[in-house]
Structure 1
């Protein structure tokens, strides 16, 4: 038990290091919120949790090194809520990204996205809100994700056949081109003309497509679905890191409880093992 202080100090130092990936994940989500995913509130809980783990780990490390019962008590108290918050964040992240995935299109290298696949989720309702979507669409437009799609191969702009084989991101597929079922003809990455038979299909996005580079398919449901698919991909990546850190945090917390009891015994000058048993139950003196 006496070695628990050293072990908890080591684990807290490791936890401090692991808080860096959590903080980095939040910052990464923040950068994507500014240029790809365009939802600017999801990263803050992760950043707050990362900073909290970093600070509390330092307190736990100091408490273990200096056998400070107050710091250890503070560490245990705050870390309990941090672990609970991290568990809640992981569950929330998986729950709101449970539905939806890209649909395979024949003779296309990219997937296409349908908003119906995400119906009923909290994220879908938030993204579909007209007022909120106006901000997201503006963010996507300002990120210039569509204008960056252009490619030149051997000094010649890529052909339709080359474009059809590309691996597009969900946002590029949903926001920067019309749905394949609308039968638009490719002119370049963001300029499409109606086919010989005109625009076909019952997809309402077909009528919403515009060659205006400030409009494109930003009003389309496929664009909303692309944003949701991009968010799902980002959140799932970050959640893997969170799960690993959560496991280590729980282990550190259990050992910290043992270290705290150890510090209490030292503060109370209580002996260990059999000596403690003899102190609590002294043998009867025979006369």
Structure 2
């Protein structure tokens, strides 16, 4: 008689198999239509996750439905390592995103961001020239500042706008620079301007391909955005962890059932 735990585990892995096919299909579709390096970069982890889910679910189906103790043991070992890895990543995500918050600017609807407010580990990632070159390219490909520049707002409308961290840090100079507003992405520096207090003021350029992409405030805005995303991912990971622990417990029951059944191959022996 098929044990309940084996049947439940098999059903869960069939669902995981369907999900893996969908994830693989999404990754291949994204790679087919990718027009930028950023989109191609996103394709690789999606395909990797889909392939992992496919192998993982097939091993679970074979182990539970075909009563293969060896496959089920490998499945449980892989799941245990996955639970451990996911737990460590979730803990790490909470630790590195614990610091850092936007600064409220008087008379402004948006916040501004400072690189030094974030964890040293995150700072090192964006201060690395090779890493930042890729991030900068993705920001330009995403046309975040270009879309901001098409709003045609007055100064009053702009300063009361709720800009995203990347828009605030990368698409405009810091408020402390006191530049003259022309458009959302065009600001006039005073003649002979040179700031020793804030290097971002000197870095700012009205060249629409440059703007403040190399500013410390832009890197801080990216980290603020990353922090928000990682907090959401970490929260989802907790839910996934609970689910995986439940599945792992069911798998352990199925493994025990398989061993018992293999110990007594014929009903008359039990």
Q: Provide TM-score, normalisation by structure 2.
A: 0.81
| 1:31-180 equivalences in 2 (<5 Å) | 34=38, 48-49=48-49, 51-120=51-120, 122-152=121-151, 157-180=152-175
Please say if residues 265 and 271 of structure 1, whose CA atoms lie closer than 8 Å, have aligned partners that are also in contact: no
Q: Deviation at 1:62?
A: 3.1
Please say if residues 96 and 119 of structure 2, whose CA atoms lie closer than 8 Å, have aligned partners that are also in contact: no
Aligned residue for 1:9?
10
What is the SS of the residue equivalent to 2:88?
A: helix
Aligned residue for 2:234?
239
Q: Which has the higher helix share?
A: 2
Cα separation, 1, equivalents of 2:243 and 2:194: 56
Q: Deviation at 1:263?
A: 1.0
Please say if residues 181 and 201 of structure 1, whose CA atoms lie closer than 8 Å, have aligned partners that are also in contact: no
Cα separation, 2, equivalents of 1:108 and 1:146: 18
| 1:166-245 equivalences in 2 (<5 Å) | 166-194=161-189, 202-245=197-240
What is the SS of the residue equivalent to 2:144?
A: coil
What is the SS of the residue equivalent to 1:106?
A: coil
Which runs of 5 or more structure 2 residues have no equivalent in the other structure?
none
In 2 relative to 1, CA 187–146 (structure 1 residues): closer, same or farther, beyond 3 Å?
same
Please say if residues 83 and 241 of structure 2, whose CA atoms lie closer than 8 Å, have aligned partners that are also in contact: yes
The number of residues matched between the two structures is 264
Cα separation, 1, equivalents of 2:191 and 2:133: 33
Aligned residue for 1:285?
none
Which runs of 5 or more structure 1 residues have no equivalent in the other structure?
280-287
Cα separation, 2, equivalents of 1:33 and 1:241: 27
Larger radius of gyration: 1
Q: Deviation at 1:7?
A: 2.4
Cα separation, 2, equivalents of 1:230 and 1:25: 24
Please say if residues 97 and 119 of structure 2, whose CA atoms lie closer than 8 Å, have aligned partners that are also in contact: no
Per-residue CA deviations over 1:123-156 (Å, capped at 9, x if unaligned) read 210211234323332332343221111344xxxx
In 2 relative to 1, CA 107–47 (structure 1 residues): closer, same or farther, beyond 3 Å?
farther
Give the root-mean-square deviation of aligned CA atoms.
Answer: 3.7
Q: Provide TM-score, normalisation by structure 1.
A: 0.77
What is the SS of the residue equivalent to 1:146?
A: helix
Q: Does 1:257 align with 2:252?
A: yes
Q: Deviation at 1:176?
A: 0.7
Per-residue CA deviations over 1:39-96 (Å, capped at 9, x if unaligned) read x59x966764554234312321332223222331221122222222222322233333
